[in-house]
Amino acid sequence: MSVYPIIMTQSKFIHQDHLSYPFEERGLQFGDGIYEVIRIYNGKYYLFEEHVDRLFRSAAAIKINLPFSKDELSNLLLQLLDKNKMKTNGKVYMQVTRGSAPRDHVFPIDVLPNIYAYIEDLPRKLENLRNGVNAITERDIRWENCYIKSLNLLPNVLAKQAAKENGCYEAILHKDGLVTECSSSNVYLVKDGEIYTHPTTNNILYGCVRMAIERFARELNIPFHEDGFTVEDIGMADELFLSSSTSEIMPIVKVDNTQISNGKPGKVTKLLQAAYEKDALINENEVTQTT
Ligand code: PDD
């Protein structure tokens, strides 16, 4: 199974075939909305509160009033798992737009947000997690409010497509050489056993997996610096890795055709991967670690 049949919309549960929107819909016409992607392991959400909190932050940032509290939303999302009898590894995609209204840039008055959430299977990318992936570097041409998880993803889409066309998994974005994040993940450099990554300013999305990584680093006594690195620094990195709900903690072993260190996932990355698997209560038979 891929997408599960029952979806949540406007606090109700319906069959996916019954969801339709008018063509004058603000998400469709303006990208006027926000979204979240939450990982599911063995039928349970991982980093659930962090994602729900971020959805509310994103909504507030673009002045959308959500018609429910955090508890009510959490409850609806939990029911979505139950109603679909979800037991495997997957993800939920949830989207909130400003609503349906005649096309006009100005916010419509008295219009309810359009909301939906659906779940689908997503096996872990074990090969990539074990062996690492390749990346390219691309200019970060996005706007100044990347901390909002907005539907406006055109620069991200173009960067990811460029990565794909170059046979790579991700595009590492940079502003004038300073690395911000990737097209759909956060990125980190390891040097002399210490982690470096862009500070959580408006220029990046504060990833929920990053929040977990900060916690793991504290627990493992690995120094974590909110200190950006440059494209040039990548050449001298001991390790490089990315993080997201769908990619977990993924080693990067080659950038723009240049190998990182010995071309294998590094020690710090592996320690963090092990901490992640423990934290997410991932099944024993699915662990990436061989040592
Ligand atoms: N992307 N940065 C960007 C630009 C992202 O799109 C994402 C997530 C992240 C990592 O966030 P988190 O750790 O909370 O997943 C960072 C999701 C998975 C997506 O758009 O599909």
Please indicate, yes or no, whether residues 114 and 254 belong to a single structural domain of this protein: no
Greatest Cα pair distance, the chain, in angstroms, is 59
Number of other residues whose CB lies within 10 A of the CB of residue 112: 12
The string of pLDDT tens digits covering residues 246-287 is 999 999 999 999 999 999 999 999 999 999 999 998 875 666
| DSSP H stretches of helix in 84-153 | 126-131
pLDDT for residue 289: 62
Residues with CB under 6 A from ligand 1: 37, 156, 181, 184-186, 205, 207-210, 243-246
**C-alpha of residue 19 to centroid of ligand 1, in Å:** 26
Q: Which residue among 151, 152, 186, 202 has the greatest number of ligand 1 atoms within 8 angstroms of its CB, and so is best to mutate?
A: 186
- Total domains, the chain: 2
pLDDT at 291: 47
Q: In angstroms, what is the span from residue 246 Cα to ligand 1's centroid?
A: 8
Q: Tell me: do 146 and 115 sit in the same domain.
A: no
d(CA 9, CA 83): 13
Residues 145 and 22 in one domain: no
Mean predicted lDDT score pLDDT of the chain: 96
* pLDDT tens, position by position, 159-172: 999 999 999 999 99
- How many angstroms separate the alpha carbon of residue 253 from the centre of ligand 1? 20
**Each residue's pLDDT tens digit, 83-132:** 999 999 999 999 999 999 999 999 999 999 999 999 999 999 999 999 99
In terms of domains, do 226 and 137 share one?
yes
Residue 1 lies in a domain: no
86 and 209, same domain (yes or no): no
Question: Which range of residues forms the domain containing residue 64?
Answer: 6-121
Does residue 91 sit in the same domain as residue 158?
Answer: no
Which of 92, 121, 150 terminates a domain? The answer is 121
267 is catalytic: no
Residues 133 and 116 in one domain: no
215 inside domain: yes
* 24-79: pLDDT as tens digits: 999 999 999 999 999 999 999 999 999 999 999 999 999 999 999 999 999 999 99
Q: Across the strands, what pairs with 13?
A: 8
pLDDT at 157 over 50: yes
- d(CA 26, CA 107) in angstroms, rounded, equals 9
Which atom of ligand 1 is found nearest the CA of 146? 4
Residue tagged active-site, from 91, 149, 160, 270 = 149
pLDDT tops 90 at residue 81: yes
Tokens for 152, please give them.
Answer: 């406006």
Q: Verify that 207 and 237 share a domain, yes or no.
A: yes
Q: What is the pLDDT of residue 283?
A: 72
Quote the pLDDT of residue 290. 53
Are both 261 and 134 inside the same structural domain?
Answer: yes
Q: Please tell me the predicted confidence (pLDDT) of residue 288.
A: 72
Distance separating alpha carbons of residues 147 and 142, to the nearest angstrom: 11
| CATH number reported for the structural domain that contains residue 45 in this entry | 3.30.470.10
Cα 239 to chain centroid distance, Å, stands at 21
